[in-house]
Amino acid sequence: MSNNLPYKLFILIIMVSIPVVISSSGGMRKDHNALFFFGDSFFDPGNNNYISTTTLDQANFWPYGETYFNFPTGRFSDGRLISDFIAEHAQVALIPPYLQPIRNEQINYHGVNFASAGAGVLSQTFQGMVIDLRTQLRNYKKEVAQLSQKTARNAVYFFSIGTNDYISQFLLNSTVFASYPHSKYVDMVIGNLSIVVKEIYKKGGRKFVFLNLGELGCLPGLRILRPERDGGGCLEEASHFAELHNKELEKLVSRMEQNLDGFKYFLYDFKSNLAQRITQTFKYGFKEGKRACCGTGRFNGVFSCGGKRPVKDFELCRNPNEFVFWDSYHLTEKAYKQMADEMWSIAAFKNLFLCY
């Protein structure tokens, strides 16, 4: 290495390096789909590293990333996310963050990840701290001009979004819920999601993957909002919002399939699959399904992992592979991998990756 290369540039290059997945034929597949990811921390590979926000919405510090990358990438896990494993299954390079300064400009070849940790469908969700879904859409439109119509049609568009629209109301003691009946608030979220999906459809998108919401009240960070005397059960009101959301999401994508020519979708039941790992922990190879690997307080539910957030104290488990939850709100790499592997095993999901 040249002695003239600035140290900070060297660190930047290391931090943004993305592993490349090689196909069995010895090179990158030529007939793959471009992958585009939208949403929140379940997909964000590090976009929030590059915006002015708080450490509550960033994960670019130890111990995040410790088990696979061996350094923090900005992913809210000890390693890879569902989006990373899907890219590996599809035999393409891991999809880079949209805001990454050094990334492959051939976006029609691999794809781009627009997700932002903490983001919601509604622009008011953690407003000013994250890249909301409408802004992610605008970022996509800047990219879509470089895509051929064939590439846009063959691309697969992934959405994991909505969690923060609901949990933010509990974490911030918001009065928004009091202003709207629960069903009306859910309708706002679903309605705004519908607008974004239809805009991508207008730009040529035809293949969509959606994750529904897990039982939000069972996240360690919301479990601790229930009084300790209750025995550590799930926060039922939060889970009720997720249930309403999931019902309306299913109706939405079904209507789109009926009304939009060529629209295809796969709806992954994230809720059931997470619930199974929480309640049948040992069956899936875990030892702990309620308590997070990293954090403090009951269930390690206080969002302090890494000691760079308002609460500095935290505990870190020895083996994240024994835990379903990595921190107060996010899963371990092992849990994400199991879900991605399951998605890839379903014929209806894999059919979206057929090129035309």
* pLDDT tens digits, 298-324: 999 999 999 999 999 999 999 999 999
pLDDT digits (tens, 9 = 90+) for 104-121: 555 546 899 999 999 999
The confidence score (pLDDT) of residue 21 equals 36
Q: Which two tokens stand for residue 201?
A: 């459809």
The confidence score (pLDDT) of residue 101 equals 86
Rounded CA-CA distance 146/144 in Å is 5
**In terms of DSSP bridges, do strands 294-295 and 315-316 run parallel, antiparallel, or are they unpaired?**
antiparallel
Q: How confident is the model at residue 6 (pLDDT cuts 50, 70, 90)?
A: very low
- Average pLDDT of the chain is 89
Point out which residues pair with 296 in neighbouring strands. Answer: 302
For the cut 90, the answer to whether the pLDDT of residue 8 exceeds it is: no
Q: Mean of the pLDDT values across residues 16-29?
A: 37
The confidence score (pLDDT) of residue 110 equals 84
Q: With 0-12 CB in 10 A as exposed, 13-18 as middle and 19+ as buried, what is 199?
A: middle
Percent of the residues in the chain that have a pLDDT greater than 70, as a whole number: 88
For the cut 70, the answer to whether the pLDDT of residue 135 exceeds it is: yes
The confidence score (pLDDT) of residue 163 equals 98
| Residue 232 three-state SS | coil
Rounded CA-CA distance 234/303 in Å is 17
- Contact (Cβ atoms closer than 8 angstroms) between residue 68 and residue 80: yes
- For tokens 């999906």, what's the residue? 197
For the cut 60, the answer to whether the pLDDT of residue 219 exceeds it is: yes
The confidence score (pLDDT) of residue 177 equals 65
For the cut 80, the answer to whether the pLDDT of residue 165 exceeds it is: yes
For the cut 50, the answer to whether the pLDDT of residue 13 exceeds it is: no
The confidence score (pLDDT) of residue 82 equals 98
| Residue 94 three-state SS | coil
- Contact (Cβ atoms closer than 8 angstroms) between residue 157 and residue 209: yes
Strands (DSSP E) contained in 73-146 are 111-113
Q: Which two tokens stand for residue 98?
A: 């949209």
Q: Could you give the residue numbers annotated as active site?
A: 41, 327, 330
Q: Mean of the pLDDT values across residues 12-35?
A: 48
pLDDT digits (tens, 9 = 90+) for 330-342: 999 999 999 999 9
Q: How confident is the model at residue 189 (pLDDT cuts 50, 70, 90)?
A: very high
Percent of the residues in the chain that have a pLDDT greater than 90, as a whole number: 78
Burial 89-116 (b: 16+ CB within 10 A, else e): bbbbbbbbbbbbeebeeebbebbbbbbb
The total of other beta-carbon atoms located within 10 Å of residue 317's CB is 20
- pTM of the entire predicted model: 0.90
pLDDT digits (tens, 9 = 90+) for 42-87: 999 999 999 999 999 999 999 999 999 999 999 999 999 999 999 9
The confidence score (pLDDT) of residue 179 equals 72
Regarding the domain with residue range 19-283+332-350, which homologous superfamily does it belong to in the CATH classification? SGNH hydrolase (3.40.50.1110)
The confidence score (pLDDT) of residue 294 equals 98
Q: Mean of the pLDDT values across residues 26-49?
A: 83
Higher model confidence: residue 171 or residue 16?
Answer: 171
